[in-house]
Amino acid sequence: MKNIIITSLFFMSVSLVANAQTPIYQDRSKPIEQRVEDALSRMTLNEKIAVIHAQSKFSSPGVKRLGFPDFWTDDGPHGVRPDVLWDEWEQAGQTNDSCVAFPALTCLSATWNPQMSNLYGKSLGEEALYRGKNMILGPGVNIYRTPLSGRNFEYLGEDPYLSGKMVVPYIQGLQSCGVAACVKHYAMNNDEEYRHQVNVVVSDRALHEIYLPAFRAAVIDGKAWGVMGAYNMYKNQHNCHNEELLMKILKGDWNFDGVVVSDWGGCHDTDQAVKNGLDMEFGTWTNGLSLGKTNAYDSYYMASPYLEAIQKGKYTTKELDDKVRRVLRLFFRTTMNSNKPMGFLCSESHYSAARKVADEGIVLLQNKNNVLPIKFNRTKHVLVVGENAIKMMTVGGGSSSLKVQREISPLDGLKSRLGSNVKVDYERGYVGDTTGSYNGVTTGQNLTDKRSADQLIHDAVEKAKKADYVIFFGGLNKSDYQDCEGHDRKSYDLPYNQDRVIESLSKANKNFIYVNISGNAVAMPWHNKVPAIVQGWFIGSEAGEALADVLTGDVNPSGKLPFTWPATLQDVGAHKLNAYPGVWRPDHKVIDEEYKEGLYVGYRWVDKEKIHPLFAFGHGLSYTTFKLSDLRESSNKISRDGNITFTVNVKNTGKYDGSETVQLYIHDVKSSLDRPYKELKGFKKVELKAGENRDVDITIDNSALSFYDDRAHAWTSEDGDFEALVGNASDNLPLMIKFKLQ
């Protein structure tokens, strides 16, 4: 007994001594800020320099001596990119790095459902956790300014409000896993072709009202832990070390407490990086995609050159300590976070999340004579045509390219859903790009077809004549100069002669359905001759399943376009005003791209110029019909610190259960500055059984009435009359109610 007491006294005193000696930074009960300060005070100058730049293609070091693990980033944003070698872009050859590919962000945005964003972010975070990644390089919120931009598929569309509302829950879901978001590409990386040379010239109003709000929402509402600086320049300074964007706006006005990560190869200068807010330097001397300089890390701008400059007295450690504090905070949020949930890779829950997002994001653009959904009782023979019915789309496109565990093609998805009672035939129709590899990942598909273009059309038409339905899967793909990073599309037209194939098939069969696979709008000169048009996006692993869900009516489509679909490029402000891709300076090193259309992007331009786009922003049909009526308001006045709730009744007047998205736009009747005719300021998706009706509330506050006053350099609103316009698309707003700001 005596021995037991002595032994326990001994252990108690040992543990008391141990507790007394536990450094604050290791003490989980202490607030993060205190742990950050403590860790900072223990770090040597070399250790501080080490944590602010990469040590390999995608990682940066932790602090070995103090027990902070290495920090691993990875692309983003649609799935967790496969591992490359330490210092090369070659595949690491891992067999455990296949993932679930989620739908591209344009499709997510088309759901107009923030809950889908949250599910997406959480599922992706779980995949990242399992793969040992601490930061996902995404989501992207650059605004869709021209349909030629190669990277629009990675973003959330043209509208700052919609992008902001959709990005916040994605970040929250992802970060709830202890995996940091790195919101990109801050800012105005709106086209790809000369992304390293572009200097954007934009008005203050367009900057604050169009190009920054989604980033602001990501930082202020989403509390993103990381932001990636863009390659391009603004005010002649690269955005990875841009004084106004990073120091004044992001870290000043928005109080961002996370890290600014350079895009891969986006840092160009030690002095600017030190002073203008860059916190972590990655990918220097690469183009981000392929090129690389061997083991360059020690000579990065924020490595030896910075260290030596401090040692020589050029800088104190003031800026360095601020950067390191942010990095340590990031460590406590991620690698050192002891509340992380479990990770999963390729779990059924992730496939189901991918399919849900896809089901809700597919947009039914046109459906004359209710040709869709496929009528099973009248269908014995379906002809599927087109390269995009069989081509894997998860490989390619640039840094978002993935190595998937599975990707169900549209053809396979349809075959399995239509079952053995329906004969499903396939014809190629055209040959586009038969290659299928990116960065060492190959699809393994042999897509070669030796038939001539005429023969391909002839063969497809012959079969089309005999089928009950012809479903053509065309559009773009992930090859260079299409929906792909690094370049823009060269033309608005569909590539590979597809227009001819479509015209011929639509003549041969009246039940012709065109499914467009892309992240961008494309020209459709034949749209009047085609009964049904579906926007099928890049949907990832569950592409075939989700497309079959919608085409057969298992799922009633409810997606809405997150961008305007112009008939021609001349209907886009940037093109009409010759404001893309810009003007080269005489030295041919910098191209100035002046955003001459200012605020008038997408539907804002359409309203101003009274253009009829092919399909409007917010447009999307359903197999059922809805009626919106009885618009009411909680008051006909709003004060600057108050709010108003608008209520509208939505009734499902058709035969199918379905979902409708109520959209609310605000029109400022009179304003001292020029304003777009209307702007989206609220939306809500509602699910209704056939025949059911429900009241839907949307509440706005003063921020919905405000604009950026470039005279005062501040957001402001003006007393007077406003109108709330309510409907289900930007070109279908049948209800209006007036109110006053007082």
Binding residues (CB under 6 A) for ligand BGC: these are 75-76, 137, 184, 263-264, 288-289, 399
Nearer to ligand BGC, 135 or 457 (CB): 135
Residue closer to ligand BGC by CB (options 263, 679) is: 263
Report the distance separating Cα 138 and Cα 154, nearest Å.
9
Between CA 261 and CA 218 the distance in angstroms is 15
Three-state DSSP string of 495-536 = CCCHHHHHHHHHHHCCCEEEEEECCCCCCCCCHHHCCEEEEC
- By beta-carbon proximity to ligand BGC, the closer residue of 187 and 555 is 187
Toward ligand BGC, which CB reaches closer, 196 or 608?
196
Please state the closest distance from residue 137 (CB atom) to ligand BGC, in A: 4
Q: Please state the closest distance from residue 325 (CB atom) to ligand BGC, in A.
A: 24
Helix, strand, or coil (residue 114): helix
- Report which residue type is found at 618: G
3-class secondary-structure state, position 643: strand
The least CB distance from residue 164 to ligand BGC, in Å, is 20
Q: Are 528 and 512 in contact (CB under 8 A)?
A: no
Task: Estimate to the nearest angstrom the gap between the alpha carbon of 465 and the chain centroid.
Answer: 40
* Closest approach of ligand BGC to the CB of residue 192, in Å: 9
In this structure, what token pair is assigned to residue 611? 């253009």
**What letter does residue 23 receive in the DSSP assignment?**
-
Indicate the residue among 288 and 429 with the shorter CB distance to ligand BGC: 288
Nearer to ligand BGC, 137 or 546 (CB): 137
Distance of closest approach, residue 538 Cβ to ligand BGC, in angstroms: 16
Instruction: Provide the minimum distance between the beta carbon of 184 and ligand BGC in the complex, in angstroms, as a whole number.
Output: 5
Q: Provide, rounded to whole angstroms, the least separation between the CB of residue 575 and ligand BGC.
A: 24
Six-digit token string for 208: 């604050």
Residue 674, token pair as written in the block: 């020029």
Q: Which of 343, 289, 353 is nearest to 100 (CA)?
A: 353
DSSP letter at 22? S
E strand or H helix that includes residue 217: helix 213-220
Q: What are phi and psi of 262, to 5 degrees?
A: -75, 150
| Paired tokens of 437 | 């590899």
Please give the single-letter amino acid code of residue 424: V
Question: How much is the CA Rg of the chain, to the nearest whole Å?
Answer: 27
Among 182, 221, 205, smallest CA distance to 81 is for 182
C-alpha 460/C-alpha 466 separation (Å) is 10
Distance in Å, CB of 420 to ligand BGC, minimum: 44
Nearer of residues 239 and 663 to ligand BGC, judged by Cβ: 239
Q: Give whichever of 229 and 531 is closer to ligand BGC, judged by the CB atom.
A: 229
> Least CB distance from residue 285 to ligand BGC, whole Å?
13
- Secondary structure element (H or E) that encloses residue 51, with its range: helix 45-51
299/289 Cα distance (integer angstroms): 20
Report d(CA 19, CA 7) in Å as an integer.
18
Q: What 3-state DSSP class applies to 664? A: strand
Q: Which is nearer to ligand BGC, 123 or 399 (CB)?
A: 399
Helix, strand and coil in the chain, % to nearest 5: 30, 20, 45
Q: Whole-angstrom Cα distance, residue 500 to residue 514?
A: 13
* CA separation for the pair 382, 505 (Å, rounded): 13
Q: Give the distance from CA 24 to its chain's centroid.
A: 39
Place of tokens 């690094």: 486
Nearer to ligand BGC, 184 or 478 (CB): 184
Structure tokens at 692: 């059911």
| Residues identified as active-site | 263
90-120 in b/e form (b: 16+ CB < 10 A) is ebeeeeebbbbbbbbbbbbbbbbbbebbbbb
CB of 346 to ligand BGC, least distance (A): 22
